[in-house]
Amino acid sequence: MYLQPRYLTIDEVKPYLEGKVTFADSSSCNQGIPDDQFGELIAFGESALERDFSPYFKIPFQTTDGANWLQLPPETIALLKKLLINRACLQTLRQAFGSNTNVRGDNFEKKCEAEYIALKDTLFQQKPNGIFLFPPANGLALSDTGINYNNVLPGGKNVPLGGNLPSALSYARTRLNNPGCSFWYRYVIR
């Protein structure tokens, strides 16, 4: 039993890999990747992207009100699809590019990876106070257990956790960021 992609279809990814990876033809028994295996490689790529995004966004991807990710604004869907396709292509290229020829796909793989990292880094880039430099993907639900969960007060005001900023929150900030300073830790160890 093969895993199935959650966000993409085989037909959405195949055009990006035409001429670089050989796909099995359903009418003949050639040496290419069968659709079931290709779907699993896409699912592995999607899973890797979810791991990368889980500190920032809810997984599986969803809107802020919990609806399916396809209900997101078109620009957010386009961004996610681009990232998903890059990740699926990387996974497939690493597994199957040139496996039955003497051609190597290192340059194309590096290009896909560089584009993926650039998009991801732009999306995650933050100011020193924890506020996103660029607005996060519009409508995409932020994680309630990840990196940005602890630096937002109930009113939505970002609070920089960590650092040496004197404030009324310095005691809490120290306790959240340094487990060695927590009361529980001192009580148990000493």
Stated length of the chain: 190
d(CA 147, CA 85): 25
Q: How high is the pLDDT of residue 134? A: 74
Q: Choose among 36, 24, 10: nearest CA to 89.
A: 10
- φ, ψ of residue 189 to 5 degrees: the values are -75, -40
What is the mean pLDDT, run by run of 10 residues, along the chain of 190 residues? 88 88 70 86 93 88 91 92 93 72 68 89 76 77 65 44 48 56 49
Give which of 156, 154, 132, 145 is closest to 59, Cα–Cα. Answer: 145
pLDDT at 190: 45
Longest dimension (CA), the chain: 71
Burial class (CB in 10 A: 0-12, 13-18, 19+), 139: middle
Give the orientation angle of helix 35-53 with respect to helix 10-17, to 10 degrees. 90
Structural domain boundaries in the chain? 10-124, 159-190
In the block, tokens 């924890």 appear at 130
pLDDT at 67: 93
The percentage of the chain sitting over the pLDDT mark of 70, rounded to a whole number, equals 66
Question: Which of 150, 159, 148 lies closest to 125 in space, CA to CA?
Answer: 148
* Cα 189 versus chain centre, distance: 38
Helix pair 74-96, 35-53: axis angle to 10 deg: 120
pLDDT of residue 61: 93
| pLDDT score for 112 | 86
Cα torsion angle, 80, 86, 88, 90, sign: negative
| pLDDT tens digit sequence for 40-63 | 999 999 999 999 888 888 899 999
